[in-house]
Amino acid sequence: MTDHTRFAGHGVLVTGAARGIGAAVARRLAEEGGRVLATDRDLPEAEHAAASLRRQGLAVEASACDIADRASVEAAVAHAVAAFGSLDVLVNCAAHGTPDAPLFEDESDDTWALDLDVTLTGAYRCCRAALPHLAASGRGAIVSIGSVNGLQDFGNHAYSAAKAGLGSLTRTLAGHAAGRGVRVNLVVPGTVRTSAWEGREDELDAIRRLHPLGRVGEPEDIAAAVAFLASRDAAWITGTTLVVDGGLTAVHTGFRAAVRHP
């Protein structure tokens, strides 16, 4: 059951909130009483998503934010503080992933740089801009969205390296920010049904069978984990990585099937 008070009075900024996991996070934190700034590089789509939530009585507004641009990030943070009076929660959802070239030696510097700049350095920019305000709130929390790609091989060299880097940034920033009253944690999803999988239902069904719990994730599964880590229910948790993957990285389903374990 959703707690409609956990984020009452909280100012929240969510990046990559136009669709998918980011949109689900914006909805969940608003349902729990938060005042949410849903940011995305795609402003029309973010505005559409925010308007839909406002029609349901939720306190959500949209703003453009390109996390590859420092000025854009700082403007979004300033917008949230001005609109809500404080910034209490930052959720880093925005990312960029480029399909691998057939051969590793054919990967380009530009591809590598783009994926790391958006996925890892973008989150760094957001944390840097938000941290003074999160510290001032007295209850600040940062939750970033990682990936099982950062834990083991699922392809995508640059994207995976960037997501692994988020794990390290989570730990080092948690150590720095703890004395300032800000908690920093990471949610690591497995395969989640988003628009990225549209038209690839056969692949998604095959992947579903690799998850011990028998299904792929939904954006709401990840949003629930984010809401926990951002809330006071997780007041003594910082620097942790919470894997939300239906058992994908804990259980080797192919091995178990091969040796016929009961």
Residues recognised as catalytic:
159, 163
What are the start-end ranges of the H helices in 178-215?
201-208
Question: Helix (H, G, I), strand (E, B), or coil: what is residue 243?
Answer: strand
Which of 50, 144, 34 minimizes the C-alpha distance to 90? 144
- φ/ψ (deg, to 5) at 211: -90, 120
Query: What's the CA gap between 184 and 220, in Å, rounded?
Result: 21
Q: How do strand 141-145 and strand 241-244 relate by DSSP bridges?
A: unpaired
Neighbours of 54 (CB within 10 A): 14
Q: What is the CA radius of gyration of the chain?
A: 18
Query: What's the CA gap between 261 and 78, in Å, rounded?
Result: 55
Residue 120: burial class (beta carbons within 10 Å; 0-12, 13-18, 19+): buried
Angle at 44 between CA 43 and CA 45, to 5 degrees: 90
Burial 152-168 (b: 16+ CB within 10 A, else e): eebebbbbbbbbbbbbe
Distance in angstroms between the alpha carbons of the first and the last residue of the chain: 34
Query: What's the CA gap between 62 and 134, in Å, rounded?
Result: 20
